Structure 1
Amino acid sequence: MQITGNTVFIPGATSGIGRALAERLHTRGNTVIVGGRRQELLDDIVAANPGMAAVRIDTADADSIAEASAEVLRRFPEVNVLITMAGVMAVEDWRSGDFLESAQRHVTTNLLGPIRLIAAFVGRLQTRPDATIMTVSSGLAFAPLRITPTYNATKAAIHMLSETLRLQLADTSVQVLELEPPSVRTALMPGQEESDFAMPLDDFADEVMQIIETRPEATEIQVENVKFLRYGEARGDYPQVVAALNRMDPHGD
């Protein structure tokens, strides 16, 4: 992915990692379209970043995805980068009988949302000479946090989806990148913004931008902090990684 000169759509960019990356991409000379459910947050981010555009979208709603995607493609036919940022994360206890609604919400938002977005854009992206789909998985795709079973599962699915799409699109102009955040100080989970274990948001976003700029061959965007989780199995210390993760941090990202 080129660091500048793109037209980028980022649903889920009104706060946290999405907003941090949207603002950095905007300042680097990209045309950035942010998406989110709350119009007042979209208005705030556009006001704070002159030249940025916004489209209202609810990535848990198939009709909203279809309508918003059509609007982006109509208004910005040159779009060449899709970053499927939006997601949810919540504690679940599968020993009880009240986890199903939460589990279904995770699958709808974290897995069906990106699938529907990619379906809406992949045709157009293949007509662009230099296009990118960036998915967002998690360090928890590779080592499970005990309290977030469905979140872990959806992010593991996003990882394998990304790997497979990369194979299918290998003979096209579309590059498939997978962003793999560690725990980052955002509002994704209660208390995460104050977590000593979580990585400061600005540090994370700056490192991501540096990787994109300096490692154009990378297929997985991994800051140093996520490699403990990402490579436990390869190193042979996976049980120790899982034990340490579940001792250290109740709010993994």
Structure 2
Amino acid sequence: MDITGRTVFIPGATSGIGRAFAIALAERGNTVIVGGRRRERIDAIRRDHPAIDGVVIDTADPDSVARAAAEVIRRHPDLDVLVTMAGVMAAEDWRSPGGFVANAERTVTTNLLGPIRLIGAFIEHLLAQPDATIVTVSSGLAFAPLRPTPSYNATKAAIHMLSESLRLQYAETSVGVVELVPPSVQTDLMPGHAENPQAQPLDDFIAEVMAILEGDPDVREVLVERVEFLRHGEARGDYDEVVRTLNRTDPHAAR
């Protein structure tokens, strides 16, 4: 993925990793459009970074996705990168009958159906571009489970396999698929997580991501050093120890 001279839409970019990634891409001369549910957050980003455009979008609402896609393509017909960033994470107790279902449904809707709807809304346009990229966002927890967040773990594992599958389907087209795999990063994804000393500082994570993208335009998975422990446990043969360590040391040990 060449990260210069691109036109990039990032729904879920009004906070956390999405916002920092959007700013980093804009600083490198890309045209960046951020998306989010809250107009005031979009306006705040645009005040601080006038070159960044923004649209209101709720990826849990199919009609909102369709409207936003039409608006983004109308205003930026050279759009050639879609980053499916939006996500939620919450603790669940699956030992409580029925108590986890509402949160699980919300997590699946946002983390899995959201990216599916986004890709569905933009794929015709992206396939018509000479060089386009879909960036999916999974997690280290796609490869080793964190005990308190079953639905989050499952949706991120699904995003990983979706990424692998789409890469096969788009192999003979102009669309590439890049999977961003964050470790634990200091954001507000869960309460108190932005202050978690065991999580990677957000600026450090973004700097490492940008260095990987700049150093390897053909990268398929963007893996910062901190996520390698989770990503490759099964291949190394120490998966059980990875799971024990993950769940012993940090209740919020990966994004």
Q: Is 2:234 the partner of 1:204?
A: no
CA distance in 1, matches of 2:219, 2:25: 18
Matches within 5 A, 1:149-164: 149-164=150-165
CA distance in 1, matches of 2:104, 2:3: 36
- CA-to-partner distance for each residue in 1:100-156, whole Å, 9 max, x for gaps? 000000010000000000001111111111110000000000000000000000000
Q: Is 2:34 the partner of 1:50?
A: no
| Deviation, structure 1 residue 166 | 0.2
The answer for the alignment partner of 2:36 in structure 1 is 36
The answer for the alignment partner of 1:218 in structure 2 is 219
The answer for the alignment partner of 1:17 in structure 2 is 17
| Deviation, structure 1 residue 62 | 1.1
CA distance in 2, matches of 1:203, 1:129: 32
CA distance in 1, matches of 2:235, 2:156: 19
| Deviation, structure 1 residue 71 | 0.7
- Matched residues, number: 253
| Deviation, structure 1 residue 40 | 0.5
The answer for the alignment partner of 1:229 in structure 2 is 230
What amino acid maps onto 1:133 in structure 2?
A: I
What amino acid maps onto 2:96 in structure 1?
A: S
What amino acid maps onto 1:67 in structure 2?
A: R
CA distance in 2, matches of 1:236, 1:195: 29
CA distance in 1, matches of 2:63, 2:50: 29
CA distance in 2, matches of 1:129, 1:29: 19
CA distance in 2, matches of 1:83, 1:22: 10
| Deviation, structure 1 residue 50 | 1.4
The runs of at least 4 aligned residues of structure 1 exceeding 3 Å deviation read none
TM-score, normalised relative to structure 2: 0.98
Of all paired residues, the percent bearing the same amino acid is: 67
CA distance in 1, matches of 2:160, 2:104: 18
CA distance in 2, matches of 1:36, 1:83: 13
CA distance in 2, matches of 1:217, 1:39: 35
What residue ranges of structure 1 are gaps of 5+ in the alignment? Answer: none
CA distance in 2, matches of 1:5, 1:129: 13
| Deviation, structure 1 residue 74 | 1.1
What amino acid maps onto 2:140 in structure 1?
A: G
CA distance in 1, matches of 2:218, 2:54: 30
- CA-to-partner distance for each residue in 1:213-244, whole Å, 9 max, x for gaps? 10112100000000000000000000000000
